Structure 1
Amino acid sequence: MSYEWIALLMFSTMLLMMITGQRVFGAIGFVAVVAALALWGPGGTDMGFSAVMKVMKWNALLTLPMFVFMGYVMSESRLAEDLYRMFHVWFGPLPGGLAIGTILLMVMISAMNGLSVAGMAIGATIALPELVKHRYDKPMISGVIQAGSSLGILIPPSVVLVLYSLIARQPVSQLWLAGIVPGLLMAALFIVYILIRTSLNPSLAPPMPPEERAAITWSQRFHLLRAGLLPLVIFAAMMIPFIKGWTSLTESSVIGALTAVVAAVIKGRFTRQVFEVATRQTLAITCMFMLIIMAALSFGAVFDGLGAGRAIENLFLRDMGLTPLQVLLLMQASFLVMGMFLDDTAMLVIVAPIYVTMARTLGFDLVWYGILYTITCQIAYLTPPFGYNLFLMRAMAPRDFTLGVIYRSVLPFVLIMVLTLALVIAFPGIAMWLPHSIYGQ
């Protein structure tokens, strides 16, 4: 059997195992170990050991537990609840106002946590009950929470961009800056869609009842505005020293986590239970990420050892004679297909080394390409049948939010994400303007 067919068999076997419900790291690791043993004998087991040692040398991964812990402290201490209450009061009188407030909440949460799972948890526990209470349309509720939470992997501090920086050897600071404008653009497009949709059909998202609005005094409204300053303080305390070069990435993540703890202590909400839940969740998510990364690195080593990367490169560039733009679009399309089955971390570690090399060969800026990859991951999070956020939503939402409702709800938001991706491809300055302005061309 040729190496090309072996590589195809490995990939198809891995996807089949995932379809049957196996854990991501188990499916990837199992295929990698079996393939290594079959191809190179007992010596093939060293690939897994090498992957573990490589992960241990990635110092930037120390930021992962810090960012996750920061997000869970914000969630469990109800600091995020205060923030949502502010948006609820100020935007509730508008048609679709609570949905707009939910998107803005997700932007704020994204600026404090680098994962979409934290946004999903906060959206499902805080925003969803309020949206249901105010008789919002179920597909509108589901779509807003899922799309908004996906902003967490694009707006800094994004853990996905940290992992990409390790593989592509690009500065994390530039990647984070490059993600800000596309992330805010996508959030703005979500809000524009909500405004247009609710203007055409106000019954989808009715405004806050007059009696509820009358019960809120102006002094209460301005008091709630202070809740909006807290995430900005945490974000500034973490990002400004890092961008200025005063602290390393790891040190900035620790500053962010400590600032969140201090804010919870000042509010009198940092209890033993908050600390225990945040620590347990941080440990669980960090271990899951590490297992996926190690399994994916082992798979990638076997995949690359077969020459699959060179074969794909030759297929696109030599055999098919495609232009650089056509190759770029094909790479993004393949990420979308893989995202239906793979976790974003697994996708990144398995395929990105091949595609990053191709992007460099084609002359594309690797910081810009990292933003394209991340937006594609966002789309994959919401793409049936196995989009990550789809199943998180099903697990967290009430029973009447069926899979049919959840699948249907994401379609307009996926189209908006595709539009954002097209805009960033057509106008690279959307992503590159901010890092160029701060660090120079």
Structure 2
Amino acid sequence: MSYEFIAITMFSAMMVLLLTGQRVFAVIGCVGVVAAYLLWGDGGSELGFSSAMKLVKWYPMLTLPMFIFMGYMLSESGIAEDLYKAFHVWMGPINGGLALGTIGLMVIISAMNGLSVAGMAIGATIALPELLRRGYDKTMVTGVVQGGSTLGILIPPSVVLVLYGMIARVPVGELWLAGLFPGMLMATMMAVYIYIRCRINPSLGPALPVEDRNVPMGEKLALLSAGILPLGIFAVMMGLFLTGTTSLVESSAVGAASSAGVAWLRGRLTRKLWTEVLQKTLGISCMFMWILLASLCFGAVFDGLGAVKSIERFFLGDLGLTPWQVLILMQVSFIVMGMFLDDTAMLVIVAPLYIPLVQKLGFDLVWYGILYTITCQIAYITPPFGYNLFLMKAMAPPEIGIRDIYRSIWPFVGIMTASLLIIALFPEIATWLPDYYYAK
């Protein structure tokens, strides 16, 4: 039996088992362990145990629960709601100002949490009802929330980039720096689109009435401080890391402790909040740990088979494709998979193949990590089965139907696609900052 046939059989078995509704990490780990046992006997069956030990000894893994804790502490303590009130007061007088404020809220939530689900939940429950109540066009603002929520997996401290860095053996600090400019570029393009559209047609995003704008300056400044606190935490955390004062793990601990301190200063650090944040942090951290464990096991089997060399020979030798053509095919496959899977599942499934192949094709793994992340963002919100579309339907008010959700998303798909093309054609947007910092 050829190694190519074994590799195809493993992937086919994995996809069939995923269609049964089983958990992603269980399917991937099971296929990896069973394949190892059938191929190499009792010794091969220990691959899963070896992967577990490798994961336990992986010191950077400590950053994962720290950043998840920080995000949940800041969001569950009501700071996100304070942020939106600040945007409401300061941006309200502008046509489309609340929608622009929602994009700003999503950027800050991204810096707080690093998960797209958190941005979606906060945008759908806090921003969307207020936008609808103020007479904003429901199709436009539904797209604003969905498009803005995807920024969470690109702007640091992105949890997805942490996972990518661990699997690809790329420094997480480089990936975070690489994601900063692309994330801000995408957020800026979304904001410009909203501003121009509401300037052309003010009825899509009416300005706040005069009576709602008459807020004392002292109250405005107090609300503005709500946004300074989480940004201050992010600045201190990243500043300590970038100046070399602390390691990445130590910086994550500073962020986690600071978020608890902010919640305490605002009088919101109750026993109930503490319990909820710890429970959610434990649940998400364990999920990511299991997914990484399954990925390492599955990848070890693939490395043993030499499947990457076979795939490389197939694309470049048998089909005669250029490296760029192979890269485009890989990105298209992400969009297709994104209709059914979330970002971590996609990364785990294709990492054993794509990451070594990208390296052999001569592309920069840091730059490719940003392309992967943006493509995931596009896949999340692409009909008919985009992952975030159904999350939005579950969280949105009753007057938002699935047709509204589908119609709302296309301008933001266009913005993300344009961002992807710009960064693909001009890699320096992603690579300049990490290259500059680490060359110092």
TM-score bracket, normalised by the shorter chain, equals over 0.9
2:223 matched to which residue of 1?
A: 224
Determine if contact 1:300/1:351 at 8 Å carries over to the other structure.
Answer: no
> For residues 165-204 of structure 1, what are the structure 2 equivalents within 5 Å?
165-204=165-204
> For residues 142 and 55 of structure 1, do their structure 2 counterparts lie closer, same or farther at Cα, with a shift above 3 Å needed?
farther
Q: Does the Cα contact within 8 Å between 2:48 and 2:297 map onto a contact in 1?
A: yes
The equivalent residue for 2:351 is: 352
Higher alpha-carbon deviation: 256-265 or 378-387: 378-387
- Whether the 8 Å CA contact 1:168–1:356 is kept in 2: the answer is yes
Shift of 1:185: 0.1
The separation in 1 between residues aligned to 2:314 and 2:40, in whole angstroms, is 26
Contact 1:25-1:291 at 8 Å conserved across structures: yes
Provide structure 2 residue ranges, at least 5 long, that are not aligned to the other structure: none
Shift of 1:101: 0.5
Task: Give the superposition deviation at 1:44.
Answer: 4.2
CA distance in 2, matches of 1:28, 1:400: 39
Report the equivalent of 1:104. 104
Match of 1:399 in 2: 398
- Give the distance between the partners of 1:230 and 1:326, measured in 2 at CA: 45
Deviation at 1:251, TM superposition (A): 0.8
Post-superposition CA distance 1:56-111 (Å, at most 9, x none): 12221211111111111111111111111111111122222111111111111111
Alignment check: 8 A CA contact 2:129 2:397 kept:
no
Equivalent runs, 1:61-76 vs 2, <5 Å: 61-76=61-76
Q: 1:274 aligned to 2:273?
A: yes
Distance 2:30 2:401 in 1: 33
Q: Distance in 2 between matches of 1:26 and 1:4?
A: 24
Aligned residue for 1:325?
A: 324
| 8 Å CA contact retained: 1:300, 1:350 | no
- Give me the whole-angstrom Cα distance separating, in 1, the residues matched to 2:259 and 2:16: 42
Given that 1:19 and 1:341 are in contact with CA atoms closer than 8 Å, whether structure 2 keeps it comes out as no
What is residue 419 of structure 2 aligned with on the other side? 420
Question: Within the alignment, does 1:157 sit opposite 2:157 as a pair?
Answer: yes
From the superposition, tell whether residues 395 and 60 of structure 1 become closer, same or farther in structure 2 (CA, over 3 Å).
farther
Offset of residue 116 of structure 1: 1.5
Residue in structure 1 matched with residue 213 of structure 2 by the alignment: 213
> Amino acid of the residue matched to residue 337 of structure 2?
M
- Supply the AA of the counterpart residue of 1:309: V
Give the distance between the partners of 1:226 and 1:232, measured in 2 at CA.
10
Q: 1:399 to 1:11 in 2, by over 3 A?
A: farther
Change (3 A) 1:32 1:404: farther
* C-alpha separation in 2, matches of 1:232 and 1:203: 33
Q: Deviations over 1:328-368 (max 9, x none)?
A: 22222222222223332232233234322222223222221
Q: For residues 339 and 13 of structure 2, what CA distance do their matches in structure 1 show?
A: 15
Structure-2 change in CA distance of 1:297 and 1:339 (3 Å) = farther
Instruction: Indicate conservation of the 8 Å contact 2:241/2:251, yes or no.
Output: yes
Q: Which residue of 2 aligns with 1:241?
A: 240
Q: Residue 314 of structure 1 aligns with which residue? A: 313
Amino acid at match of 1:165: G
CA contact (8 A) 1:150 1:378 kept: yes
How far the C-alpha of 1:412 sits from its partner, in A, is: 1.6
Q: Distance in 1 between matches of 2:3 and 2:399?
A: 48
2:11: which partner in 1?
A: 11
Report if the CA contact (8 A) 2:116-2:152 is conserved. Answer: yes
State the distance in 2 between where 1:135 and 1:12 align.
49
Superimposed CA distance per residue, residues 237-269 of structure 1 (whole angstroms, 9 cap, x where no aligned partner): 211111111111111111001111111111111
User: Structure 1 residues 438 and 305 mapped into 2: Cα distance closer, same or farther (>3 Å)?
Assistant: closer
Contact 2:167–2:351 (CA under 8 A) maintained in structure 1? yes
Deviation at 1:40, TM superposition (A): 4.2
Distance in 2 separating the partners of 1:71 and 1:270: 14
Query: What SS does the corresponding residue of 1:412 show, helix, strand or coil?
Result: helix
Partner Cα distance (1:177, 1:309) in 2: 29
Q: Aligned pair 1:435/2:437, yes or no?
A: no
1:57 matched residue in structure 2: 57
How many residues get paired? 440
Spell out, residue by residue over 1:141-174, the C-alpha distance to the aligned partner (whole angstroms, 9 max, x if none): 3221222121111111112222222222222222
Please state whether the residue corresponding to 2:93 is helix, strand or coil: coil
After TM superposition, the structure 1 stretch with the greater mean CA deviation from structure 2, 165-174 or 33-42, is 33-42
Instruction: Provide TM-score, normalisation by structure 1.
Output: 0.93
Alpha-carbon distance between aligned partners in 2 of 1:165 and 1:188, rounded to the nearest angstrom: 26
Q: Which moved more, 1:254-263 or 1:309-318?
A: 309-318
Report deviation, 1:409: 2.3
Distance 2:131 2:50 in 1: 49
Contact 1:99 1:144 in 2 (8 A): yes
Q: Gaps spanning 5+ residues in structure 1: where?
A: none
Worse-matched range after superposition: 124-133 or 385-394 = 385-394
CA distance in 2: counterparts of 1:364 and 1:209, whole angstroms: 53
Q: Which moved more, 1:374-383 or 1:79-88?
A: 374-383
Residue pair 1:135, 1:205 contacting (<8 A) in 2 also: yes
